[in-house]
Amino acid sequence: MLSSRVAARTTTTAVVGRPRSSSLRSLSVLSSHNNHPLFKSTTTPRGNAVLNNVIPRNNNQQQQQRTLVGLVHAIDKRVYRWAKGVLPPISKTENIALGCGTIGFDRDIFSGSPSLQHLIDTYEPKLSAEEQSYIDKEVSELCALLNDHDTVTTKDFTKEAWDYMRDNKFFGMKIPREWGGLGFSTHAVSCVLAKLATQCFDANATVAVPNSLGPGELLARYGTDDQKEYFLPRLANGTLIPCFGLTGPHSGSDATSLIGSDCVVSEHPVTGELGVVASFKKRYITLAPVAGVVGLGLNLTDPKGLLGGNGEEGFTVALLERGHEGLRMGPRHIPLSAAFMNGTVEGEDVWIPMTSILGGQERCGFGWNMFVECLAEGRGVSLPAGSIGAARSVVAGVGAYSRVRKQFKVPIAEFGGIQEAMAKAGSDGLITIAGGDVMNAIVDNHEAPMVISSVMKQNCTERGRRIVECGMDIAAGSAICRGDKNYMGNAYMSLPIAITVEGANIMTRSFQIIGQGLTRCHPHMSDLMRALQLPPSEEKEGVQIFVKQFHKIVGHGITNFFGSVAKGIGSTFSSKIRSKSAYKNGDDLLAHHEKQLLRLSNNFALTADLCFTLGGRLKFEELLMGRLADALGAIYLGYATLHHYHRRRGIEGLEALTEHAMLRLEREAQDALYAASENFPGPLGPVASTVMKMGCFPLGGITRPYADPSDVLTKEVSRLLTTPSEIRSMFEEGIYSAPEGAVHQMTDLISALPICVEADKVATSLRREKRDPTADEANLIAKADALRDALIQVDVFEHATAEEAQPGFVRPALLGTEERFASMDKTVFREAA
């Protein structure tokens, strides 16, 4: 009897304690073992866990168990094969892209649980004393050499300006010090570019390219020793101006397709040296007309196997100097009215030795890795820096102009339409600055966030366009007349260029952000996709990984669903009872809006999970992806705005401006998610739509509480931005201010603002008290009137073109008038009267 009990206990222990087989580990997509009656556990009186019905009582039960487990595994395999068939084939380039760059805070948003405190603790944008000195001195001196109107008119800088940029290493800010560069941080480069944009957008574009996607950074990371020793010192001191040739006529936003840019591995017919023969036709290449070296993106093939395993076929970067046999650089494009150098790079059957392949032969086929990891800086830092400069210019310049300019004897800053546009420009400006600060700190933290960089590029350049449009609407006639006094017109015409380059915004928004984000940043998607990419020989492992990740996705969706419901109701309640003036308490401002962002992040994560109902079709549902990109962008920039407030709190007026920005961002995210729920596509769209509405908006419209800022808040923000205040000073921090005595419209407007505001106060007091001004008051009012009269003037030209300036020139229309009068008896009214 004792022996039988021992035997039974041994059998039980063996079953419970042994490692579970692959069949028992497999979790069906259609049912979970844990919920099946065959696998429920109980506890014996001794406390030992026993799996009910698992201990075989007879051969028949054993057989039934094996049959069920086999059936479950068969179902798993069928679903795996179905999913593998539905998933569109992923190219080698796409696979590389999915593995490049880094993920961080973007993944937190996709998980539904981002943390503001983590953002604050991890990322802090800062400048060294040397970097700040460079911005104050060298950048200001360069700005003084640049006349924006003359640059656009002549379509080039002066040689003095080019030499200054070279001598002071404006093209080598990111090149390490050991190679002669400045070795500046990403945040410093962003601040330099933003300040240049406040004076001359063409200077911003010219300096941006060598410090983002130019070959300099690629060389520093991937170049051979010989390449570094030759090129980097010459790039750092400006001897060689660089450019990067990627885009072609048939590969715009899909630049890496490299259509029409082919090279074949060959041996030189005379020397036998190994190299490539390339034909290429590039366009839209910034700095190409003046570049001394071009990094050329090519699609390399090796039909004869000459690489011998050292290097691969695929995207490859070659370094060619101007004058290389067969290389043609020089012809220009003229992007709108811009003056920055942009043109073509072409060649047919150009011989390129392996020593000119960036990184040498072993880096053949490695170009996409290089390109993607460096692209984060160009897209996420350089382009948004232009919008940051535009934001500072509009708030500082147009904010002052709206007080200087009067209509109906009242400063236009008092008009409701002006106040609305000014507040929008200010809050969009804050959002752009805040997003840039966090992005810069992320890159300086040695991260390369591809999804956040795409969000920054698309969202901030679009906001930059809106900011300048608001400024143009406010400044009106003074903003459309070109000349030295116009500090906005060229920015207005340049921002559409920023919107199209490095992936047009319309494509970035509707395809790239969510397409890459869902596969790269979702906490479980990348492992699931890797399982589906395994070859048939590894199907068993693929099934196990697939099923495990699928259940994690389902669990993730359920967690986010209930989290969305709970947070949606809680956030709605807190929003409804919150006082309109609660934002004045900084702690309440942070706590309230972080709570709303966490709710929206849960909503977004749930929606991302529901996208799996589309399978491979998601790739073609660009309207849905565009709305989700809007939501993701608003959430990220919301966290960035709170991060900015935490760092800069104490500035007078920052609470009001932050509140205005946050209300707009929350409304943007809410509206984007609601539109997605109303239009969820696919065969399971109605089901997904219902689940999304139940999770995101459990009480219908009641749980969509976010609305635009109130008129009271809008007026307060506009007042702060159009009168002397600390918040105005914050925007003025990064703009170019001309030396005392120099004529410079923006500087003069900023200087005139306090005088005009004080004069208006005096005039109001005089009317109220019904008295005459004192001598000092009269002088103040007269001074303000003189400033107003001077600053509202626009430029007038005797000659608009060089042809008009020629002696004896008569405008064609006037020639026609003379010809018609020549046949008439009377040529003036008095003769006819």
Instruction: Count Cα atoms within 13 angstroms, Cβ side, for 620.
Output: 8
- Number of CB atoms found within 10 A of residue 613's CB: 17
What is d(CA 150, CA 159) in angstroms, rounded to the nearest whole number?
Answer: 13
Residues near 308 by Cβ (< 8 Å), separated by ≥ 6? none
Listed in sequence order, the residues at least 6 apart from 281 whose beta carbon sits closer than 8 Å to its beta carbon are 248, 249, 260, 261, 344, 346
How far apart CA 229 and CA 287 sit, in angstroms, is: 23
How many residues appear in the chain?
A: 833
Burial 756-775 (b: 16+ CB within 10 A, else e): bbbbbebbeebeeeeeeeee
Query: Which of 149, 265, 256 lies closest to 213, judged by CA?
Result: 256
Collect contacts of 697-701 with beta carbons under 8 A, ≥24 apart: 697/568, 698/564, 698/565, 698/568, 698/569, 699/568, 699/569, 699/572
Give the 3-state secondary structure of residue 285: strand
Token digits of residue 624: 């849905």
Contact (CB, 8 A) for 629 and 452: no
Q: At what angle do helices 450-475 and 383-393 cross, to 10 degrees?
A: 30
Longest dimension (CA), the chain: 141
Residue 579's closest CA among 566, 567, 588?
588
E runs forming strands in 230-356: 242-245, 262-267, 274-286, 293-301, 314-321, 328-332, 342-353
Cβ contact 89:619 at 8 Å: no
Amino acid code (one letter) for 726: E
333: left (phi over 0), alpha (psi -120 to 50) or beta: beta
- Known catalytic residue: 502? yes
How far is it, in rounded angstroms, from Cα 237 to Cα 523?
45
The answer to whether the CB of 319 falls within 8 A of the CB of 227 is: yes
Tokens 């903003």, located at residue: 479
Question: Do residues 228 and 176 touch, judged by C-beta distance below 8 A?
Answer: no
DSSP sequence for 473-520 = HHHTHHHHS-STT-SSHHHHHHHHHHHHSSS-HHHIIIIIHHHHHHHH
Question: Phi and psi for 247 in degrees, rounded to 5?
Answer: -75, 140
Contacts of 171 (CB under 8 A, 6+ apart): 165, 207, 210, 211, 214, 216, 235, 236, 238, 241, 242
d(CA 476, CA 338): 21
Three-state SS at 150? helix
Q: How many of the other CB atoms lie within 10 Å of CB of 683?
A: 11
Catalytic residue among 138, 447, 462, 502: 502
Opening angle at CA 543, ends 542 and 547, nearest 5: 120
DSSP 585-611: SHHHHHHHHHHHHHHHHHHHHHHHHHG
- Identity of the residue numbered 804: E
Coil/strand/helix, residue 329: strand
Cα separation, 810 vs 385, in Å, equals 45
Query: Hey, is 71 helix, strand or coil?
Result: helix
Compute the distance between CA of residue 265 and CA of residue 309 in angstroms, rounded to an integer: 13
Question: What distance in Å separates the CA atoms of residue 209 and residue 170, rounded to the nearest whole number?
Answer: 11
**Residues with catalytic roles:** 502
